Amino acid sequence: MAAMRLKARFAGPLQGTARPPGDKSISHRALIMGALAEGRTRIESLLEGDDVHHTAKAVRLLGAKVERMDDGIWVVDGAGGFSQPTETIDCGNSGTGARLLIGAAASYKLSARFDGDQSLRKRPMNRVIAPLSQMGARFDSPQNKLPLIVHGGALKGITYRSPVSSAQVKSAVLLAGLHAEGETVLVEPERSRDHTERMLKVFGANIDQVEVDGSLHPRVRPGALKGVDIYVPGDPSSAAFPVAAALIVGKSEVRVEDMLVNPLRLGFFETLLEMGANIVYEETRDPIGEPIANLVVKASKLRGASPPAKRAPAMIDEFPILAAVAAFADGETRITGAAELRVKESDRITLMVEGLRACGVEAEELPDGLVVNGRGPKSVRGGAEIRTHGDHRIAMSFLILGLASKEPVTVDDADMIATSFPGFEPFMQNLGADIVAL
Ligand code: S3P
């Protein structure tokens, strides 16, 4: 079937209130921990995107009962651990699903085959194979990529110094550590998102922090998880798109409700404030060990910014949309410390630079980032068809750019948007955006 193409064009200011879909990171974790727990976990506002659906199917194959109720609540009856699956576990497009599930599965006596789509098959898995092998798991993985088979069981805890700041690596190791002998500690260069640590606490795991090399790092010791009720806040990585649109489309004012405001996810919003964005946070609350707030965003005159490289993990998924916003700012935006972008769903550095240039924006690749030379509001020509390589965030970023460009922007494949932001098109249309299928 041919991919769906979407076209975005300027149609006046964006206005209104919207609640972004549930956070993807928290949704995967709720399903996985619910499946590892004893008893019932009820999940409200789970992200019903393709990536998370793959994880729901995966944990069913690994022994849990998972059901979506008529009121939209997802109920997981955990078996207190994983058991031998009867077929290959297909993680679809999701690196998070794959790496977290491989980590959790590695600590049980089973052999499980994991696979994914064309994009996921290209992504590095050695980053989880290496620590899990040190803990005692065995892998059949000729290329250190998917498809692979993990032979799990009888793991020993380790202190792992991860070469990358990756919450997926951290989570794989910590989840494996839940069912390993002794303690497992994960040390990373810069702190990555900490949803696994926060949620493990809620599930009653034996988790705390220890000092290693002068800073605190998470440590787990074996112990059972108990089913709980989880509320999934709106995803800041999805909210980033309407927020960006409101900033760059003149006279817009958008209210985003119920967004996760975990500080380790706010690098993009922090950078926008440095660029001069008019964003006000309202009513912070914390019902589930994760802070949540409403945001009011108004169209703003922006200037270029160079976020510090150490901020990269806190905004890793938002660099494509930041690069799009930077085209409408005055002056240079320099993104560094983001080499990880090259091993996401696509090489996001190459695709962003290529797409920006096609839209008449001056941009240049760096080995670990990119430079965008913004020329202010109304400066972007647009008028291009963008190659997305099936990457959801590249597609959404260029559609947002199209809303403020002189000529419409088309993306060649919008199907993958459903992996993280199902309903993106009607969501943006409700705010007044002109985005149509071709
Ligand atoms: C995620 C971690 C990040 C992020 C991804 C979700 C997670 O990946 O890009 O979208 O939920 O743990 P890395 O761990 O590879 O940085």
Q: Per-residue pLDDT tens for 137-175?
A: 999 998 999 999 999 999 999 999 999 999 999 999 999
- Provide the pLDDT confidence category of residue 287 given band limits of 50, 70 and 90: confident
**Does the pLDDT value for residue 265 go beyond 90?**
yes
For residues 396 and 430, state if they share a domain. Answer: yes
Which domain does 124 fall in, by range? 24-231
From 182, 205, 231, give the residue that closes a domain: 231
Asked if residue 66 belongs to a domain, the reply is yes
- Residue 166: CB within 6 Å of ligand 1? yes
Asked if residue 430 belongs to a domain, the reply is yes
From 231, 254, 283, give the residue that closes a domain: 231
For residues 85 and 97, state if they share a domain. Answer: yes
**In the chain, how many domains are there?**
2
Average pLDDT over residues 399-403: 98
- Provide the pLDDT confidence category of residue 20 given band limits of 50, 70 and 90: very high
For residues 222 and 247, state if they share a domain. Answer: no
Asked if residue 1 belongs to a domain, the reply is no
Average pLDDT, rounded, for the chain: 97
Map residue 325 onto helix, strand or coil: helix
- Residue 96: CB within 6 Å of ligand 1? yes
Mutation choice for ligand 1 from 96, 101, 368, CB with most ligand atoms inside 8 A: 96
The strand order across the sheet containing 65-68 reads 65-68, 74-79, 38-44, 229-231
Average pLDDT over residues 290-299: 97
Residue stretches of the annotated binding site for phosphoenolpyruvate = 24, 95, 123, 168, 348, 393
* pLDDT at position 284: 84
Residue stretches of the annotated binding site = 24-25, 29, 95, 123, 166, 168, 317, 344, 348, 393
Average pLDDT over residues 324-339: 98
Residue 300, CA distances (Å) to 10, 214, 251, 393, 436 in order: 17, 41, 8, 23, 26
**Does the pLDDT value for residue 132 go beyond 90?**
yes
Asked if residue 385 belongs to a domain, the reply is yes
Asked if residue 64 belongs to a domain, the reply is yes
Q: How does pLDDT run across 166-214, given as a tens digit for each residue?
A: 999 999 999 999 999 999 999 999 999 999 999 999 999 999 999 998 9
Q: Which of ligand 1's atoms lies nearest the C-alpha of 343?
A: 15
Cβ count within 10 A of residue 44: 15
Average pLDDT over residues 61-69: 98
For residues 190 and 319, state if they share a domain. Answer: no
Written as six digits, the tokens of 380 are 């972007």
- Provide the pLDDT confidence category of residue 36 given band limits of 50, 70 and 90: very high
Q: How does pLDDT run across 267-283, given as a tens digit for each residue?
A: 999 999 999 999 999 98
**Does the pLDDT value for residue 363 go beyond 90?**
yes
* Distinct helix (H) and strand (E) counts, the chain: 12, 23
Residue 314 CA, ligand 1 centroid: distance in Å:
10
From 214, 231, 248, give the residue that closes a domain: 231
Asked if residue 38 belongs to a domain, the reply is yes
User: Catalytic residue among 317, 347, 391, 413, which?
Assistant: 317
**Does the pLDDT value for residue 1 go beyond 80?**
no
Query: What CATH number has the domain bearing residue 299?
Result: 3.65.10.10
Asked if residue 344 belongs to a domain, the reply is yes
Using the 8-state DSSP alphabet, how is residue 437 labeled? Answer: E
Residue 26 CA, ligand 1 centroid: distance in Å:
11
Cβ neighbours for 282, distance < 8 A, ≥ 6 positions apart: 293, 294, 295, 296
For residues 330 and 415, state if they share a domain. Answer: yes
Residue stretches of the annotated binding site for 3-phosphoshikimate = 24-25, 29, 166, 168, 317, 344
Mutation choice for ligand 1 from 175, 186, 193, CB with most ligand atoms inside 8 A: 193
For residues 201 and 237, state if they share a domain. Answer: no
For residues 68 and 96, state if they share a domain. Answer: yes
Residue 97 CA, ligand 1 centroid: distance in Å:
10
Residue 331, CA distances (Å) to 327, 328, 334, 345, 378 in order: 9, 9, 10, 29, 14
- Smallest CA-to-CA distance from 66 within 26, 34, 106 is with 34
For residues 130 and 120, state if they share a domain. Answer: yes
Cβ neighbours for 109, distance < 8 A, ≥ 6 positions apart: 152, 153, 154
For residues 69 and 13, state if they share a domain. Answer: no
For residues 351 and 320, state if they share a domain. Answer: yes
Alpha-carbon torsion (118, 25, 236, 339), positive or negative: negative
Written as six digits, the tokens of 241 are 């798109």
For residues 210 and 322, state if they share a domain. Answer: no
Is 317 considered catalytic here? yes
Higher pLDDT among residues 3 and 62, named by residue: 62
For residues 177 and 129, state if they share a domain. Answer: yes
Residue owning the nearest CA to atom 4 of ligand 1: 317
Asked if residue 128 belongs to a domain, the reply is yes
Say how far apart CA 310 and CA 208 lie, in whole Å. 24
- Provide the pLDDT confidence category of residue 307 given band limits of 50, 70 and 90: very high
